[in-house]
Amino acid sequence: KPAAPPEAKFVSIEFDMVHIAAGCFEMGSPISEDDRSADERQHHVCVEPYAIGKTEVTQAQWQAAMGGNPSHFKCDGCPVENVSWIDAMAFIAKLNAASGKHFRLPTEAEWEYACRGGRPGERYCGGVQVNSVAWTDSNSGDRTHTVGQKQANGFGIYDMSGNVREWTCSGSDEDYRGGERQCANNASLYVTRGGSWYGAPRSARSADRNVHSPSDRGDLLGFRVARSLP
């Protein structure tokens, strides 16, 4: 029997996706939250139905698709890292071409809505105790860890706080004027979310924001996939 072509192998890569119903929430942080930044203005946001990865994209998934592993911390089940926004988009383009689906990065609003897991007021993605839900500089041992080892959030999603900081498809919009609700094609800076193994617990907060150039790479930068639902 002839070997399956690379495209068929790629289609077989499984992404455990969580379906998120349409809903509204208060995005950002209240002024009373410790460690908040000025770019976390709290405001009302609604999202349409979408699906998002239960975990970050792993090194095994990346390698099966791309034929290599750029990660600094080698571990099949750990999140792929040292990938830029451009790299993540190349991975997604391959996935879409092979599967016929329409995967993408989540918008910043979708990311935070999924992070909060339907539970308003949680400081981190899944609770108020950071060590229960996240790998940060306080407990990581200075490296990434296999996905899905910490407590899931209210939607059953893992590692949205900590492990690796995650790319979104939204360009930088410091004042929250609508850019957080859409994907940007040619932004000079893209928003990343979630803190990392290297960051302090405060950077793993649900509302914390950061930005990077689309070509930036680092061993604390990874991503998870999303797609729109009917």
C-alpha to C-alpha distance for 5 and 29, rounded to whole angstroms: 48
pLDDT at 73: 98
pLDDT at 8: 37
Give every CB contact of residue 78 below 8 A, 6+ residues apart in sequence: 58, 59, 71, 144, 145, 146, 147
DSSP letter (8 states) at residue 201: G
C-alpha to C-alpha distance for 134 and 149, rounded to whole angstroms: 9
pLDDT at 183: 98
pLDDT at 9: 46
Query: What does each of the 230 residues of the chain score in pLDDT, given as a tens digit?
Result: 434 334 434 445 788 999 999 999 999 999 999 999 999 999 999 999 999 999 999 999 999 999 999 999 999 999 999 999 999 999 999 999 998 999 999 999 999 999 999 998 899 999 999 999 999 999 999 999 999 999 999 999 999 999 999 999 999 999 999 999 999 999 999 999 999 999 999 999 999 999 999 999 999 999 999 999 99
pLDDT at 12: 59
pTM of the entire structure? 0.94
C-alpha distances (whole Å) from 106 to each of 35, 134, 182, 203 are 25, 20, 9, 19
The answer to whether 9 and 64 have CB atoms below 8 angstroms apart is yes
Beta strand 221-222 with 165-171: parallel, antiparallel or unpaired? parallel
